[in-house]
Amino acid sequence: MPVVEDLVSRAAKPVRRRRTWLASGVAAVTMAAVGVAIAITAPSGTETAGVSTPSTSASTQTQTGALIGNWRPVDIVGFDNSALPPPALPAGRVPNITFTSDGRWRGSDGCNAISGTYSASDDGSISTANSAQTLIGCPDVITVPNSEVLERAARFAIDGRSLTFYAAGGQRLGTYERV
C-alpha cells in the first residue's frame, strides 16, 4: 500500500501549493488596498520629496491649519443667497461645514447631515470625498449645496474670517464665514 499513499500525497501537493499561492495573493492584494486607503485618507501636512512646506512661527497659522474649524455659508454661486443665513433651525441642521485636523469634514445642508474626507495643502489646493449623507427630506427647507461646493473645489483661500472655494478653472464656488 505505500505506493498508493505516495500517489495520494503527491496528488495533494499541487492543490496545497495553489491554495498557498492563492492565500498569499489575497493577502498581498489586501495589504495593497489597505495601504492605498491609508494614503488616500491620511491627513495632509507631511512633506513630500521635492516639495517644501513653508516654515511657520507660533504666531503664524498655515492655510491648512486655518481651514480647521466650523464655517457657515454666506455666498454660494448659483444659489439664492437671500436664504442665508436661514431662519432658526435646530443646531444639527444649521448649514455649515466643519473641517477637523484628522482629514475629515462634516456638516449640514440645512436638512441632511453630510460628511467626508479631505486633503489640503498650504498652497491652497484641496480635494474632498463625500462619505455619507442622510436623506431626510425636510419639507419647506431650502438646502444649501455644501456637498456640491466641496465636490467641485480644487483650491481654497482664507482671508481673515472668510473661506472661499474655487473650481479647477479658477471660478469662485462659494464663500463661508468662520463660526
| Per-residue pLDDT reduced to its tens digit, 5-36 | 554 455 555 544 444 444 444 444 444 443 43
Q: Is 63 helix (H, G, I), strand (E, B) or coil?
A: helix
Classify 118 as helix, strand or coil: strand
Give the C-alpha separation, 85 to 50, whole Å. 43
Strand segments (E) across 25-153: 69-76, 96-99, 104-108, 113-120, 126-133
Ramachandran quadrant class, 170 (left: phi over 0; alpha: psi -120 to 50; beta: rest): left
Q: Is the pTM of this model over 0.85?
A: no
Query: Among 37, 13, 17, which residue's Cα sits nearest to residue 25?
Result: 17
Residue-level pLDDT at 93: 76
Among 178, 38, 48, smallest CA distance to 125 is for: 48
**% pLDDT > 90, the chain:** 46
What letters, b where the CB count within 10 A reaches 16 and e where it falls short, cover 149-173?
A: bbebbbbbebeeeebbbbeeeeeeb
